[in-house]
Amino acid sequence: MFTIQHIKENGLRFVALQNASKTTTAKICLDQGARLQELKFNEVILIKEQADFDYKESYASSILFPFASRIQDGKYSFLDTAHQLECNENGKNALHGLVYDKKFELFEPEEHKDNCSATFTYYEKNVSKGFPFTYFFSVTYTLLENDLQVRITVKNTAQKPFPFTLGWHPYFYSDSLAESVLSFKSDQKVVFDENLITKNVVACSTPKTFKLKDKQLDDCFILKDNKVSFTTATYKIEISSDSKKNYLQLYTPKDRPIIAIEPMTGVSNTFNNKIGLQVLEPEKTYVLNWNLKFINV
């Protein structure tokens, strides 16, 4: 029987999804935007907290909404109205949306013989600075023996449409990161300025096997399909999405054994450049599914 546990640590609330043999665990923090703090499959660690890498700086495994990455100077215009978001990146840009630090509530946890799931909900009833819209937002994690499914549901509860993109910011651990490789299909890459704001999109030849050795990454690719794989000495994962258009942000923090592999539905500064931007009408709902498959190597 798969089980769900409730945990309190350092004043924070967590829910842990676990398989019957207790060898696979997904641990979610309700008080930090329903982020996936830890992930282990068959005793192999994929995601874990890093020392001296505070969540306020790392955004580790945060869910990114209503925008992923950055909005230049926090400024954008939508339906002929100018807006100013709070610039939470050293006062320069708005970074990683508005739900990464919100307190979510647990809703309808389910335990079954071969899986368990938990939904985390957040109701934005007050308009925030720069995003004068209300919405319902939920994240459902479903743990199976070799998969973690992540479902995002967004409903526009305002009386007017709003713009949005979505992203996920997990860091994957590897004790042999330099020998690890990625595989994805892309022939276009985003060019950033010095502040990681999108300048343009250029043609880019991506190798079938994308080696990480000697690479320092903070790069965004436009995918030709919906799949990305990551292979280390101890495990392989495949991340897929049911989004019609998919973008991949890769980031390697210096001198750390982790890499951020971030599926996104838009790019940096999307509220202004419109790359990947979507609009959700009043009372309409948008659903996005990410699936993470674990493969022993």
How does pLDDT run across 10-28, given as a tens digit for each residue?
Answer: 999 999 999 999 999 999 9
Under a CB-based contact definition with an 8 Å cutoff, are residues 83 and 75 in contact? Answer: yes
Q: Token pair of 208, please?
A: 């079938």
Q: Token pair of 134, please?
A: 């209300």
Specify burial of residue 64 (Cβ count, 10 A radius: 0-12, 13-18, 19+): buried
N-to-C CA span, the chain = 26
pLDDT for res 297: 72
pLDDT for res 290: 98
pTM of the model as a whole: 0.96
pLDDT for res 87: 96
pLDDT for res 90: 87
> Which architecture characterizes domain 3-296 according to CATH?
Distorted Sandwich (2.70)
pLDDT for res 128: 87
List phi, psi (to 5°) of 55: -60, -35
CB neighbour list of residue 72: distance below 8 Å, 6 or more residues apart:
93, 195, 197, 269, 272
- pLDDT per position as a tens digit, 75-104: 999 999 999 999 999 889 999 999 999 999
CB neighbour list of residue 285: distance below 8 Å, 6 or more residues apart:
153, 154, 155, 156
Q: Say how many CA atoms lie within 13 Å of 129 toward its Cβ.
A: 8
pLDDT for res 296: 83
pLDDT for res 129: 85
pLDDT in tens, the chain (297 residues): 999 999 999 999 999 999 999 999 999 999 999 999 999 999 999 999 999 999 999 999 999 999 999 999 999 999 999 999 999 998 899 999 999 999 999 998 999 999 999 999 999 999 988 999 999 999 999 999 999 999 999 999 999 999 999 999 999 999 999 999 999 999 999 999 999 999 999 999 899 899 999 999 999 999 999 999 999 999 999 999 999 999 999 999 999 999 999 999 999 999 999 999 999 999 999 999 999 999 987
CB neighbour list of residue 112: distance below 8 Å, 6 or more residues apart:
1, 2
The dihedral formed by the CA atoms of 185, 178, 166 and 188, expressed in degrees to the nearest 10: -30
Q: Token pair of 195, please?
A: 């502040």
pLDDT for res 47: 98
Bridge partner list, 290: 150, 241
Q: Token pair of 240, please?
A: 């897929």
Report d(CA 266, CA 246) in Å as an integer.
7
